[in-house]
Structure 1
């Protein structure tokens, strides 16, 4: 459990996708997540360069990555891709990464057809992490 009484940490949340990656930001002092950016996942070099620019600007000390699972909890192809993305984040930036079950995060979002909501999905994932892990 994280304690809100400690020095506040800036935390990034990620909603990984093959075409786009949603990024959210929050801090442990207020425990509230906000959408930050949507990164087009053109290729690894571009994707991680954009993430590096966000890190340089905001200085997060922890990453949270949504982990998609089947409703029964079993893993599937995207689960493995998200785990690989989480490992790459940790390996490239040496920032701790935690995985959060994202099975029902998209259920709280209602999007119009064609609307990009990846940053809001990342915000829901990060908010779930705060709600489950912060103690006041």
Structure 2
């Protein structure tokens, strides 16, 4: 397996990242608009066709103590839709603190002059990259009984 796509599911935007298993690296690609609970499937179809991922990684938002929260349902629903639409393996990965880490990375890049305030929309894609990096780095996928709830 070499190429994976990762997702940080949000209520208005979903961040998308690309990961490479050979290099164990990931980078943010883009954000996908979410309208009335549905992502822009045409844009997702284009990304899948362009990158030909072998696995899809979806961040599962959990509370600090590891329990599910209302946003977890949206992530699970999105993961199920991805699996049904593309027939690819879909892995759920604990995404706790990924958005905060992405914001810190953005602030550091901005401080170094590498990013501008207008680039803030890329934070969701950076959060998706962090989720992919965790999985590539050996973070376990959530157990099947958790993934199937």
- In the alignment, is residue 89 of structure 1 matched against residue 89 of structure 2? no
Structure 2 counterparts to residues 1-136 of structure 1, below 5 A: 8-42=1-35, 44=38, 47-110=40-103, 115-116=120-121, 117-132=123-138
Pairwise CA RMSD: 1.9
Instruction: Report the TM-score, using the length of structure 2 for normalisation.
Output: 0.78
Q: Which has the higher helix share?
A: 2
CA distance in 2, matches of 1:24, 1:65: 10
> Which blocks of at least 5 consecutive residues in structure 1 are unaligned?
1-7
Count of residues paired in the alignment: 126
In the other structure, the counterpart of 1:5 is: none
TM-score where L is the length of structure 1: 0.85
Q: Which moved more, 1:53-62 or 1:34-43?
A: 34-43
Runs of 4+ residues deviating >3 angstroms = 111-114
Q: Deviations over 1:48-80 (max 9, x none)?
A: 111110011110010000000010111111001
Cα distance between partner residues in 1 of 2:124 and 2:102: 10
Q: Once the two structures are superposed, what CA deviation does each residue of 1:10-47 show, in whole Å capped at 9, x if it has no partner?
A: 10010001100100001111110011111111253x61
